[in-house]
Amino acid sequence: MKKRKKTYLKNRVIFVDEQLIKNGIRIDGRKLDELRPIEAKVGVLKNADGSAFFRLGNTMAVAGVFGPRKVYPKHEEQAEKAILRTQYKMAPFATETRGRPGPNRRSTEISMVTRNSLLPVIFVEEYPKTAIDVHIEVLQADASTRCVGINAAALALADAGVPMRDLVSSCSAGKVNDTVVLDVAGKEDTEGELDLPIAYYPKRNQITLLQMDGIADSSEVKKIIQLAVKGCKQIYEKQKEALRSKYALEKMDDVIS
Amino acid sequence: MNEEKTETKRKLVIPGDELGEGRAGHGTYEENGKVYSSCIGLAEEKNGILFVIPLSGIYNPKRGDGVIGKVESIIFSKWIIDINSPYEAVLSLSEATDEFIDTTKVELTKYIDYEELIFAEIMSITKTKNIQLSMRNRKCRKLRGGRIIKVTPAKVPRIIGRSGSMVEMIKEITGTQVVVGQNGIVWVKGENEEIAAEAVLEIEQKSHVSGLTDHIKAMLEKKMVGQKKQNTYVNEEKKEEEDLFEKEEEDIFEK
Amino acid sequence: MIELDTHLIRHMALDEKRIDGRSPDEYREITIEPDFVTSAEGSCRVKIGNTEVLVGVKIDVAEPFADTPNEGVLMVSSEFVPLASSDFESGPPGEESIEVSRVVDRTIRESKAIDFEKLCIVPGEKVWMVCVDIDVLDYDGNLIDASSLAATIALMNARLPDLNDEKKSIYGKKGKNKLPMSGMPLATTFAKISGKIFSDPIKIEERSLDAVLTVGTAVKDGKTMLCAMQKGGTGGFSLEEIEQIFDMAIKKGDVLRKKAEKFV
C-alpha cells in the first residue's frame, strides 16, 4: 500500500516523504475534508432490472441488478428469504497496468464485504426462495473502487424495485503526510499512510462496511471514521438526487382514479 | 382543485423517505412509530393507510389479479404456469373446468398443452408464495395465436388507462384483441397486432409524459393510415368480439 | 443436519449470557505449540477451544516484485480442509477462506512488523519470500484470531535458511538468522448478537450474529495501535459499538500478546 519515496544520498538510502499536502491543500487542489467530484446516474442499462453508474473523481463503476428471480443452482435457495449474490469485478483496462481478466482473491473478498454492506438495508424476507444478483463492474480505478461499487449497487437495487429500508453510501478517509483527509485518491493512495473505506446506513447511523489498511492509534482511527461518515452523508444526497431525477416525471395523473 | 389533490397525494418517494404516521401499507415499512417508503414510487394514503405505488420492480402477485401465463410443466392433475414471476403458479384441473375428467384416460395436454398461453385469475397465494390460479371467471380463457409483449409490471395501470380508456383506444383504432395481464404480460392478436404492440411499448417508455393518451392516439392513427395504404382491404370483422370480458367462441376445451 | 438453535443463542445474548457459560469478553482456553512442524522454517499450532489451526512458514529465495526491488515478499494463504468441518468442501478457497488469509495478511503487513527491506539479499535480484500457510484442522468459530495468533508466533520463531555459495537456500537444518519481526500483530474478533458484544465467537455464535468486527492490533513505539479492520456479517455497527470494540481489541490483544510472548 504505502511506498515511501526512496532516494539515494552518497550511496545511502534515505527516505523523503513526498509533500502531498501544502498549506491544507492537496495535490489535486482539494481541501482536507473535500470529496472528489461526484456523478451519479440511475437506469443506465437496458437488460438489467435495475442499474446505475457512479463516479468519484477518476474512479467509476456501473452496477446492474437482476431479480428477485429464481435461484440457480437450486440448492442455494433459502426457504424464508431472498439470497443476495454480489459480484465485484474490475475491467482489465481499469488500472494502469492491465489486470488479468477473471476473479481473484481481492475481487472475491470485495464481493463479500460489498454484499455484507448492502444486506442490512434489504428486505430479504419479502422474497423468499429467490435470488437478487448484483453485478459491479469497475470501469476505471483510482482508489475507493469498492466504495464507488457500493454506491452504484445501492442505486441499482432501488432502481430494480428491490424493497429497501434506505440507500447505502460509501467512501473512504485516511492519512496522508500525517494528516487526516477525506477520500484518498491518486498519489495519496499509493504514498499515503492509511486508507479506511466505510459504508454507511444513514437512517440508522450504522456502519455496514469497515476496513483499514495502515496503522494508527484508536483515537485517530475514530476521527478518521467520523470524517468518512461526513463524506458518506454528502454522497447520500447525491444518490437520492440521481434516483429522484430518473423518476421525477412519473406522475400517473391521468391513470389512477 | 384536482391538480392540488394530485400534487400532495402522488409525491415521488424513494426508499427511506418518511411518509408520516399511520398504518404501514404496501411498499412501506414502520420504524420507531413512523412509516417510511421501501421503494421508488408514488406515495398514497387511503383510510389512514400509507402506501406506495411502486414505479419499478418485479410483479407482486395479488389475489384477484388477472395474469397471462405460459404452461411450463404438467404434474399429476395440475398445470405449472410461468407467470413472469420467481414464484410458480399452479392451475389444478378442478379450477380449470367443471367437467369431470378421468385423468387416467385423458391427458391434460389435450386441454392446455405445454407452452400454451392462458389468461387466468389468481385465486389464492399462500404464505410461502405458492400461487393458485383459477379459470372459473368468465374472463379467463386460452390465448391462441397473437403475440405477447413483456412490460414492467409497474406500467400496467398506464397501459390499461383510467377505467380501461387506454387499452380500449388501442383496440378500437387498431382493431386488435388486447389482453393485459397484471403481471406485466400483454397479449395482442389481429391483423394490426404489430401496431398495437408498438403502442404498448411506447406507453411503457413514455409513461411519465402528460397527455400520453393523446400522444398514443396520434401515433396509432398515423400508423394505421400507413397500414391501410398497404392493405388492399379493410377487415371490418376484426371489430367483433373484442371485448376483453367476453369469452371467445372457442371454448377453452375445444379439441 | 439438526444443530443448535440460533434463537437460543440470541435469546441468551440479550442478557449477555453465552451457551458455554463464558462472559462476553472471555476467550476460550488457548493452547500454543510453536515449532510443531520441523519441515517448515517456522510453524505453530494453536487451539482456541475446539478450533484448531496449524500455520507453517516456508521461506525461500525468490525474485522481488518489479515495483519493490529491495523488498522481500509475504504471502498468506489459508485452506479450510474438509476434515475440519462437514461444512467445508474440497476445492479452491471459498470466500471465507480467502477472507481469513487476507485479514491475517493485512494484520501483519500493515503493522509494519516485518521490515521487508531487511529481507533483501541481492537488490533487484534475490529477496526472501515468506509464505505463510494456514491449515484449518478443526472448525468451531473464530478462525481469524486463531490463524493470526499462530501465524505471528510462527513468524516470530521462524529462521531464514542459511545460504550456500550460490545464494541458494540450504534446507534440512535450522538457519542461523531469525526472521526480522516485531510488534506482535494480532487480530481479535468481536461479534454483535442481540445488540451485545462478545469476543471469540464459537461456530454457533457466528451463525447467530448480526455483525462481526475483527480488529488487528500491534505494538508500535511502545503503544498498542490498530492496524487492520474487517467488518463482516449482514448487519451494521453504530459508532459507539465500534469504539467499544476498539477498546476491547486493545485490551484483548495485549492479553494475547502476553500469552504468546512465552512461546517466542
> pLDDT above 90 covers what percent of chain B?
52
Q: Does A229 touch chain C (CB under 8 A)?
A: yes
Looking at residue B250, what is its pLDDT?
Answer: 37
- Interface residue B9 vs chain A (CB under 8 A): no
Let me know if A170 is exposed, middle or buried by CB neighbors in 10 A (0-12, 13-18, 19+).
Answer: buried
Alpha carbon dihedral C254, C256, C262, C264, in 10-degree steps, equals -90
C228 with A213: Cβ contact below 8 A: yes
Lowest-pLDDT choice from B117-126, B147-156, B174-183, B222-231: B222-231
B228 residue type, one letter: K
| Alpha carbons B166 and B160: distance in angstroms, whole number | 5
Q: C 196-235 residues with CB below 8 A of A?
A: 213, 218, 220, 223, 225-235
How many structural domains does chain B have?
3
Range of the domain at A81: 5-11+30-247
Q: Provide the CA A38 distance to its chain's centre, in angstroms.
A: 12
- Mean pLDDT score, B246-251: 38
d(CA B99, CA B106): 13
* Residues B55, B60, B61, B63, CA torsion sign: negative
Percent of chain C, pLDDT > 90?
A: 82
pLDDT for the residue numbered A249: 66
- B59 found inside a domain: no
β-bridge mates for residue C53, sequence order: C46, C136
Q: Do B88 and B14 have their domain in common?
A: no
Best CA proximity match to A53, nearest among A256, A239, A222, A179: A239
CA distance C51 to chain A (A): 23
Residues of A in contact with B158 (CB under 8 A): 252, 255
Q: How are beta strands A83-90 and A59-70 bridged, if at all? A: unpaired
Q: How confident is the model at residue B6, as a pLDDT?
A: 43
pLDDT, tens only, C158-196: 999 998 888 788 887 888 899 999 989 999 999 999 999
Q: What ipTM does this complex have?
A: 0.89
What DSSP string runs through A206-244?
A: EEEEEEEEEEE-HHHHHHHHHHHHHHHHHHHHHHHHHHH
- B in contact with C (at least 3 C-beta pairs within 8 A): no
CB contact under 8 A, B10 and A129: no
Distance from CA of A232 to the nearest CA of B (A): 16
Rounded distance between C-alpha atoms, residue B179 and residue B193, angstroms:
12
Contact present, A116 and A208 (Cβ < 8 Å): yes
Contacts of A113 in chain C (CB under 8 A): 230-232
Q: How high is the pLDDT of residue A256?
A: 46
The mean pLDDT value of chain B amounts to: 83
- A166, B213: Cβ pair inside 8 Å? no
DSSP state letter for B21: S
Report phi then psi at A244, rounded to 5. -65, -40
Taken in order A143, A58, A178, A97, the sign of the CA dihedral is positive
DSSP label at residue A175: E
Average pLDDT over residues B172-197: 93
Is the CB of residue C170 less than 8 Å from the CB of residue C161? yes
- Whole-number Cα distances in Å, B54 to A162, A242, B202, C40: 10, 17, 20, 61
Tens-digit pLDDT profile for residues C20-65? 999 999 999 999 999 998 889 999 999 999 999 999 999 999 999 9
CB contact under 8 A, C232 and A105: no
Residue A114 covered by a domain:
yes
Task: List, in sequence order, every beta strand (DSSP E) within C15-168.
Answer: 30-34, 42-48, 51-62, 73-80, 120-122, 126-138, 162-163
pLDDT exceeds 70 at position B196? yes
Chain A contact set for C232 (CB, 8 A): 112-113, 116
- Cβ atoms of B92 and B36 closer than 8 Å: no
C-alpha A2: how far from chain center: 21
Q: Does position B4 have pLDDT exceeding 90, yes or no?
A: no
Which backbone phi and psi does A14 adopt, to 5 degrees? -125, 160
Q: Do residue B129 and residue B164 come from a single domain?
A: no
| Cell digits of residue C104 | 491475517
Average pLDDT per block of 10 residues along chain A, 257 residues long? 48 59 90 97 93 96 95 92 96 89 94 98 95 96 97 98 98 95 91 95 97 96 98 98 86 47
Residues B151 and B179 in one domain: yes
Q: Please report, for the domain that includes residue A82, its CATH number.
A: 3.30.230.70
Q: Beginning with the edge strand found earlier in the chain, give each strand of the sheet holding A83-90 in spatial order.
A: A38-42, A50-56, A59-70, A130-140, A83-90
Q: Which residue has the cell 404452461?
A: B71
| Total Cβ atoms within 10 A of residue A92 | 12
Residues constituting chain B: 255
Q: Name the nearest CA neighbour of C260 among C35, C34, C29, C24.
A: C34
- Please, which pLDDT band fits residue C208 given cuts at 50, 70 and 90? very high
Residue A193's pLDDT is 93
pLDDT for residue B109: 81
Last residue of some domain: B143, B176, B192? B143
CA C96-C40-C217 angle, to 5 degrees, is: 50
CATH code for the domain in which residue B41 is found: 2.40.50.100
Cα gap B104→B101, rounded to integer Å? 9
pLDDT tens, position by position, B15-49: 999 999 999 999 999 999 999 999 999 999 999 99
Average the pLDDT over B223-247 and give the result.
53
Output the nine-digit C-alpha cell for C256. 494475547
Task: Please identify among residues 29-88 of chain B the ones whose CB lies closer than 8 Å to any CB of chain A.
Answer: 29, 31, 36, 38-40, 42, 53-58, 86-87
Residue the block writes with cell 421503494 = B39
Q: Sorting pLDDT into bands at 50, 70 and 90, what band is B162?
A: confident
| Beta-ladder partners of C120 | C127
Q: What is the pLDDT of residue C5?
A: 82
Spans of all domains in chain C: 6-261
Measured from the Cβ of residue C239, the count of other Cβ atoms closer than 10 Å reads: 14
If asked whether residues B134 and B152 sit together in one domain, one would say no
- CB–CB contact A165 B31 (8 Å): yes
Chains that touch B (3 or more CB pairs under 8 A): A
CA–CA separation, B133 vs A145, rounded Å?
A: 47
The reply to whether residue B56 touches residue A161, judged by beta carbons under 8 angstroms, is yes
Rounded to whole angstroms, the Cα distance separating A60 from A137 reads 9
Tell me the residue type at B236. Answer: E
Q: Do B40 and A247 touch (CB under 8 A)?
A: yes
Whether residue B112 is found in the same domain as residue B169: no
Q: Which of A72, A155, A245, A247 to mutate to test the interface with B (most CBs of B within 10 A)?
A: A247
Helix-helix angle B193-205:B165-174, to 10 degrees: 150
The Cα diameter of chain B in Å comes to 68
Chain C residues in contact with A6 (beta carbon < 8 A): 70
Q: What is the DSSP letter of A144?
A: -
Verify that B223 and B163 share a domain, yes or no: yes
C187 CB-near residues (< 8 Å, 6+ apart):
C103, C104, C107, C144, C145, C147, C148, C214, C215, C216, C228
> By the CB < 8 Å criterion, does B22 face chain A?
no
Who's near C54: CB < 8 A, 6+ residues apart? C36, C37, C43, C44, C45, C46, C134, C135, C137, C150
| d(C-alpha B227, C-alpha C122), whole Å | 82
Q: State the pLDDT at residue A11.
A: 45
**Chain A contact set for C239 (CB, 8 A):** 205, 207, 222, 225-226, 229
Looking at residue C47, its amino acid is K
- Nearest CA-CA distance, residue A122 and chain B, Å: 9
Residue B181 has which C-alpha cell? Answer: 395481464
C219 near C198, Cβ under 8 Å?
no
pLDDT of residue C168: 83
Say yes or no: B116 and B89 in one domain.
Answer: yes
Residue B3: its pLDDT value, please?
A: 42
Domain span holding position B188? 147-231
pLDDT of residue A187: 86
Give the residue from B56, B168, B209 with the most A CB atoms within 10 Å of its CB, the best one to mutate: B56
d(CA A136, CA A139): 9
The DSSP code for C64 is: P
Q: What is the mean pLDDT of residues B188-212?
A: 87
> What would the CATH number be for the domain defined by C6-261?
3.30.230.70
Cell 417508455, residue?
A: B205
Cα distances (angstroms) measured from residue B189 to each of B177, B182, B197, B218, C125: 5, 18, 9, 21, 75
Q: What is the pLDDT of residues C106-151, one digit of tens each?
A: 999 999 999 999 999 999 999 999 999 999 999 999 999 999 999 9
User: Three cell numbers at A71?
Assistant: 435461484
